[in-house]
Amino acid sequence: MFKKILIANRGEIALRIIRTAKEMGIKTVAVYSTVDKYSLHVYFADEAVCIGPPPSYQSYLNIPNLIAAAEITNADAIHPGYGFLSENAYFSSMCHKHGIKFIGARPSHMIQMGNKISAKKTMEKAGISCLPGSSCFSNASSYREIEYVADKIGYPIIIKAVSGGGGKGIRSVFDKKSLKNSWEEAKKEAWLCFGKKDMYIEKLILNPRHIEIQILGDKYGGAYHLSERDCSIQRRNQKLIEETPSPFLNSSLRKKMGDEAVKAVEFLHYEGIGTIEFLVDQNKNFFFMEMNPRIQVEHPITEEVTGVDLIQEQIFLAYGKKISRKKNFYPKMYSIECRINAEEPYHHFKPIPGKITQMHLPGGKGVRVDTHIYAGYFVTHYYDSMIAKVITTARDRKSTIEKMRRSLEEFVIEGIKTTIPFHRKIMKNNDFLKGNYNTNFLEKKNF
Catalytic site residues?
Answer: 294
Distance CA 292, CA 82 (A): 10
Q: By C-alpha distance, which of 122, 220, 202, 129 is closest to 159? A: 202
Distance CA 293, CA 300 (A): 17
DSSP assignment of 234-268: EETTEEEEEEES-SS--HHHHHHHHHHHHHHHHHH
DSSP 37: T
Collapse the DSSP code of 271 into the 3-class scheme (helix H, G, I; strand E, B; otherwise coil) and give the result. Answer: coil
Q: By C-alpha distance, which of 33, 21, 27, 28 is closest to 10? A: 33
Collapse the DSSP code of 2 into the 3-class scheme (helix H, G, I; strand E, B; otherwise coil) and give the result. Answer: coil
Q: Please list, in sequence order, all residues whose beta carbon lies within 8 angstroms of the beta carbon of residue 97, skipping any fewer than 6 positions away.
A: none
Largest CA distance in the chain: 60
Buried b (16+ CB within 10 A) or exposed e, 201-239: bbbbbeebbbbbbbbbbbbeebbbbbbbbbbbbbbebbb
CA 97 remoteness from chain centre: 27
Radius of gyration of the chain (CA): 21
Whether cis (ω within 30° of 0) applies to the bond prior to 156 is yes
CA atoms within 13 A on the CB side of 231: 24
CA atoms within 13 A on the CB side of 184: 4
Q: By C-alpha distance, which of 162, 190, 187, 160 is closest to 172? A: 160
- β-partners of residue 4 are 27
CA 77 remoteness from chain centre: 22
The bridge status of strand 4-7 relative to strand 77-79 is parallel
